């Protein structure tokens, strides 16, 4: 086949265009780079809060010669630049969607770095309080507990350390005996020191992994049995502290909306059932749920969505439901900066960002909160020592007391026992979820103020 010949003038023009493009391409590249840099520096476009991660984003650092010399000033600028890049969350969402399309984590498995330690029997301390007759009764209850629909055919993924099944997230749980022993030791010390003053209660809250997940899926997941975690801690209490069995209680309501799907917390309904069980243990008559006004504060996308950016959760958010109490109350909380604010026991969060609606309950997470039941002239007092799981239960507790004091041990700096003695607290209630009682960092913070 004869090779086609091009006119000489045409070949000269083509070579000229090629040469021109080679010289222009670097210029165009650097122009795009410069425009992108200028665009990313436009302050009004830069976000200050992340709805996905539920946190304030990095602020532009203040200049100082010390920071300049140490190099931290430019490092902080880098952090600010990366943290507040325009449309950052949209880009994160796109990346998450691409990961889902690639089939990342399309099978059930445990966290690779999580060794699920076997929960041992307690060989010392108090003996289990249940008689054989009670155990038989508990077994009968367990056999009649409701079932939840099988999830075996739902899309199952592990994204960012969260197990996702369909549009629901679940948190893996592990057991660390030394941390559990430390936690039990704190409660034992509190009960011993307050023996003549307060009744001390321990409440280990199971997470949704062991309550609402279907049995056919749960048996294949590398996560410890939370009922055994609670039993180990309860059996380690030997100084008079009373225990509240929430595992059985919540399993009996597992087919109801007792946990959020997109967040690691329980719902207000789940917290109410815990309140019922506490009242049964403490010998109080609970206020029935029909006395409360049920309200919805709209769509809620919580921590599981923030961790995964999962599209199924985004399309089917939770509903933040609250129950307005039938009694009047006043609430004052002190924030980490030491400033005090008057607040609502249940706050209308309809206009809050979609990721912050769990803040509806009891003023959210603050070092110290005081709540007074204005419908009672006199009555008992309660001290709640909690992390965020306690928030949703506190509005129900207030109905049984004249005053409820709330300490979030993650931020409180003073002594728990000294406070209870000084204020002659009637009931002291420790509320911690099964994930918190495996965290040495959290329990160590509690230990430091257990005096």
3-state SS of 258-322 is: CECCCCCCECHHHHHHHHHHHHHHHCCCCCCHHHCEEEEEEEECCHHHHHHCCHHHHHCCEEEEE
Higher pLDDT, 32 or 242: 242
Three-class SS string for 419-441? HHHHCCCCEEEEEEECCHHHCHH
- The confidence score (pLDDT) of residue 442 equals 94
Burial class (CB in 10 A: 0-12, 13-18, 19+), 293: exposed
Contact 393, 269 (CB under 8 A): no
- In this predicted structure, what is the pLDDT of residue 37? 60
State the Cα–Cα distance between residues 359 and 22, nearest whole angstrom: 58
Contact 384, 431 (CB under 8 A): yes
Mean pLDDT check: name the lowest of 105-114, 281-290, 300-309: 105-114
State the Cα–Cα distance between residues 366 and 387, nearest whole angstrom.
10
| Residue 200 DSSP label | E
d(CA 4, CA 311): 55
Average pLDDT over residues 142-159: 77
Per DSSP, 346 falls in state: B
Higher pLDDT, 41 or 206: 206
Length in residues, the chain: 451
The confidence band for 150, taking pLDDT boundaries of 50, 70 and 90, is confident
Lowest average pLDDT, out of 98-107, 228-237, 364-373, 407-416, goes to: 98-107
* pLDDT value of position 362: 98
- Label residue 104 by pLDDT band (50, 70, 90): very low
Distance CA 431, CA 451 (A): 18
pLDDT: which is higher, 220 or 287? 287
**List of residues 6+ apart from 192 with CB closer than 8 A:** 239, 240
pLDDT at 239 over 80: yes
* Mean pLDDT, residues 193-197: 96
d(CA 169, CA 352): 22
- The mean of the pLDDT values for the chain is 83
Pairwise CA distance, residues 406 & 425, whole Å: 12
Q: Which pTM was predicted? A: 0.76
Instruction: Round to whole Å and give the CA distance between 262 and 104.
Output: 19
- DSSP characters over 154-165: S-EEEETTEEEE
According to DSSP, residue 18 is labeled: H
pLDDT attached to residue 118: 76
pLDDT at 367 over 60: yes
Top pLDDT among 12 and 228 is at 228
Mean pLDDT value of segment 75-84 = 64
Element holding 333 (H helix, E strand): strand 329-334
- The residues near 429 (Cβ < 8 Å, ≥ 6 apart) are 200, 201, 203, 278, 382, 383, 384, 385, 397
- pLDDT of the residue at 14: 64
Question: What confidence tier does 2 reach under pLDDT thresholds 50, 70, 90?
Answer: low
Token pair for 49: 């809060």
Return d(Cα 420, Cα 192) in angstroms, integer.
13
Q: What average pLDDT does this structure show over 42-67?
A: 62
Environment class of residue 416 by beta-carbon count within 10 Å: exposed (0-12), middle (13-18) or buried (19+)?
A: buried
């Amino acid at each position: 086949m004869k090779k086609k010949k091009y006119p000489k003038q045409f070949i000269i023009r083509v070579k000229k265009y090629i040469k021109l493009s080679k010289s222009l391409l670097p210029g165009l590249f650097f122009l795009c780079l410069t425009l992108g840099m200028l665009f990313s520096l436009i302050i009004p476009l830069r976000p200050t809060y992340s709805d996905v991660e539920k946190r304030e984003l990095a602020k532009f650092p203040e200049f100082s010669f010390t920071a300049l010399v140490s190099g931290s000033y430019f490092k902080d600028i880098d952090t600010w630049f990366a943290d507040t890049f325009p449309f950052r969350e949209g880009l994160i969402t796109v990346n998450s969607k691409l990961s889902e399309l690639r089939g990342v984590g399309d099978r059930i498995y445990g966290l690779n770095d999580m060794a699920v330690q076997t929960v041992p029997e307690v060989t010392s301390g108090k003996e289990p309080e249940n008689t054989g007759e009670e155990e038989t009764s508990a077994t009968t209850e367990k056999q009649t507990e409701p079932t939840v629909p099988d999830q075996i055919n739902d899309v199952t993924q592990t994204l960012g350390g969260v197990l996702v099944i369909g549009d629901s997230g679940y948190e893996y749980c592990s057991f660390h005996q030394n941390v559990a022993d430390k936690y039990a030791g704190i409660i034992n010390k509190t009960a011993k020191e307050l023996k003549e003053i307060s009744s001390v209660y321990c409440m280990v809250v199971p997470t949704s992994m062991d309550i609402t997940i279907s049995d056919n899926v749960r048996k294949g997941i590398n996560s410890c049995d939370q009922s055994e975690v609670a039993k180990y801690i309860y059996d380690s209490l030997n100084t008079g502290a009373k225990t509240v069995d929430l595992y059985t209680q919540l399993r009996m309501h597992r087919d109801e909306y007792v946990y959020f799907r997109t967040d690691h917390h329980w719902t207000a309904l789940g917290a109410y059932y815990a309140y019922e069980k506490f009242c049964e243990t403490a010998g109080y008559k609970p206020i029935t749920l029909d006395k409360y006004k049920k309200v919805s504060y709209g769509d809620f996308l919580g921590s599981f969505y923030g961790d995964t950016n999962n599209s199924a959760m985004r399309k089917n958010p939770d509903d933040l439901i609250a129950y307005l109490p039938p009694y009047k109350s006043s609430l004052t909380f002190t924030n980490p900066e030491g400033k005090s604010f008057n607040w609502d026991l249940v706050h209308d969060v309809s206009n809050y960002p979609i990721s912050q609606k769990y803040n509806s309950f009891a003023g959210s997470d603050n070092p110290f909160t005081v709540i007074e039941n204005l419908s009672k002239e006199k009555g008992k007092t309660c001290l709640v020592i909690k992390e965020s799981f306690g928030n949703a239960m506190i509005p129900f507790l207030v109905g049984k007391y004249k005053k409820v004091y709330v300490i979030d041990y993650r931020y409180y700096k003073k002594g728990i026992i000294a406070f209870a003695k000084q204020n002659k607290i009637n009931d002291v209630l420790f509320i911690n979820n099964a994930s918190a009682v495996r965290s040495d960092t959290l329990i160590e913070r509690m230990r430091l103020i257990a005096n």
